[in-house]
Structure 1
């Protein structure tokens, strides 16, 4: 029996969807909110997740971000449920790895067909072995990470220290054990734009290595970090020996490029409020821990301005507006997202 996890308002989901799925011989597991849903997904390992897009606390995008970072859940189909259509919000969901979005009202037949089709595709994908690897190895990304990172030299860096500079020659592949890192592109007029954000468990510096080009951005520590140094020669040997691993990095590269394209379009054409809201939501999606309900980040206004792609003075004025609207709280330099849902509405409207 295939297991489906429903995340959202329990009464509505149970009455409208849960009972229907039970009647069609699916096992149904319920979670009342995003935080519980993430925990249950990691414990129950469902075959599919149906999740409300808008929830208090950790919303649908937050759930999706956490699910897609888990090696055992990264391919599990995630279908969002929403009360209205929002083109930019849904595009962001698809770019993060959502499989489908259903807009109420939808028929029982539409729901069942969507569930059946996505489950069939998931079964087909998980049944296909990758070249040179068993299915068990294909799903064990921890084994890949161990092969890359065990018995390597590491370095500890303080905030604002530079790891490598734009134009430099790639010597290492990097893996973050602790801390946060950003990659920054500098324009000829001296202005910086953050084009990549990385956290614990992320690889970075692989784009230039795969392209065999100099670094196209500068990597800077945002929060005290410990980083594994994987010599380029060793990384290339592992790539050549294990096609599965190079496939994983190409997939990560494609995801990062899509994310950057979305952000650059927003920076070019969005209003100031949209830019700042998008930057806050982007940071939340990247760095929020599943067990924490309200996202808090300690980031300088200059750094946040480079993420949003705007002037520091304009950013500060907009943050003040958001604070007055009770969308965020600011204390000792830290920013707390009080109403992530409304910030998403601004960002993706």
Structure 2
């Protein structure tokens, strides 16, 4: 199987979150023409309501929206264990370098500046879906065949700890995590140590396994 087969063997459901009705129609039509099923929401608040009932394979999201902007939406998604694995692509007219950095640090996987070429959007969607599929497909057999972890009950992590453990689960090291979160490696090490203490786990590998299992990868 080649990479393109991953996204064409079954119809993928995408969520498009944008308050511009003209853009929603254009992007939805283009994505549906390429074989995707598209669910739409006009702002972050409506998107969260939809996410209570269905989980898309990927979210495409504007930043500047009424009621709830894209930054807040992505932050809430990344803090929710049921949703945190979903790839998110930001579409925004805010094209300065600091805007892109803020978007990626908030938790988006890709940042595309409006106006954009439809083919660029499709390429980024397919790339993100392939990456998510490879991660899930690679980790799942190991989780199913390994002895069950023993974790303390009622573990509560802070939002920052949740972000760190999600990055650990992706296989990132402390240096990479510190750069993404703009904190020191010592701070990352401290968060990892705190989580090991809270969970009763022994190492980063077990912590990553626990994160993936908890998030139903």
Settle same-fold status: TM greater than 0.5: yes
1:296-321 deviations in Å (ceiling 9; x for gaps): xxxxxxxxxxxxxxxxxxxxxxxxxx
2:66 counterpart SS class: coil
* CA shift for structure 1 position 248: 6.7
Confirm whether residue 244 of structure 1 aligns to residue 209 of structure 2.
no
Distance in structure 2 (CA, Å) of the matches to 1:67 and 1:208: 20
Confirm whether residue 94 of structure 1 aligns to residue 94 of structure 2.
no
Identify the match of residue 33 of structure 2 among 10, 23, 28. 23
Q: Between Structure 1 and Structure 2, which shows a larger proportion of helix residues?
A: 2
Gaps of 5+ in 2: 1-10, 159-188, 212-217
Distance in structure 2 (CA, Å) of the matches to 1:209 and 1:83: 36
- What is the aligned partner in structure 1 of residue 81 from structure 2? 71
1:55-66 mapped onto 2 (5 Å cutoff): 55-66=65-76
* CA shift for structure 1 position 239: 2.3
| Kept after mapping to 1: 8 A contact 2:74/2:107 | yes
- What is the aligned partner in structure 2 of residue 45 from structure 1? 55
Distance in structure 2 (CA, Å) of the matches to 1:245 and 1:176: 12
- What is the aligned partner in structure 2 of residue 210 from structure 1? 193
Distance in structure 1 (CA, Å) of the matches to 2:116 and 2:191: 46
TM-score by length of 2: 0.66
| Kept after mapping to 1: 8 A contact 2:151/2:199 | no
Gaps of 5+ in 1: 138-142, 151-173, 178-205, 212-229, 250-349
Distance change in 2, residues 1:210/1:53 (3 Å): same
- What is the aligned partner in structure 1 of residue 45 from structure 2? 35
1:211-263 deviations in Å (ceiling 9; x for gaps): 9xxxxxxxxxxxxxxxxxx995x854x225x83325778xxxxxxxxxxxxxx
1:22 counterpart SS class: helix
| Kept after mapping to 2: 8 A contact 1:38/1:63 | yes
How many residue pairs get matched? 172
Distance change in 2, residues 1:24/1:71 (3 Å): same
1:50 counterpart SS class: strand
Q: Between Structure 1 and Structure 2, which shows a larger proportion of strand residues?
A: 1
Distance in structure 1 (CA, Å) of the matches to 2:121 and 2:191: 43
* CA shift for structure 1 position 59: 0.5
Distance in structure 1 (CA, Å) of the matches to 2:47 and 2:75: 12
- What is the aligned partner in structure 2 of residue 281 from structure 1? none
Identify the match of residue 149 of structure 1 among 146, 153, 162. 153
1:26-56 deviations in Å (ceiling 9; x for gaps): 0000111110112212321000100011111
2:143 counterpart SS class: coil
Distance in structure 2 (CA, Å) of the matches to 1:246 and 1:76: 17
| Kept after mapping to 2: 8 A contact 1:78/1:99 | yes
1:129 counterpart SS class: helix
- What is the aligned partner in structure 2 of residue 5 from structure 1? 15
Distance in structure 2 (CA, Å) of the matches to 1:54 and 1:90: 13
Identify the match of residue 156 of structure 2 among 175, 183, 188. 175
1:336-347 mapped onto 2 (5 Å cutoff): none
TM-score by length of 1: 0.43
Distance in structure 2 (CA, Å) of the matches to 1:65 and 1:97: 7
Q: CA RMSD in A?
A: 3.6
Distance in structure 2 (CA, Å) of the matches to 1:208 and 1:20: 43
* CA shift for structure 1 position 4: 0.4
| Kept after mapping to 1: 8 A contact 2:28/2:38 | yes
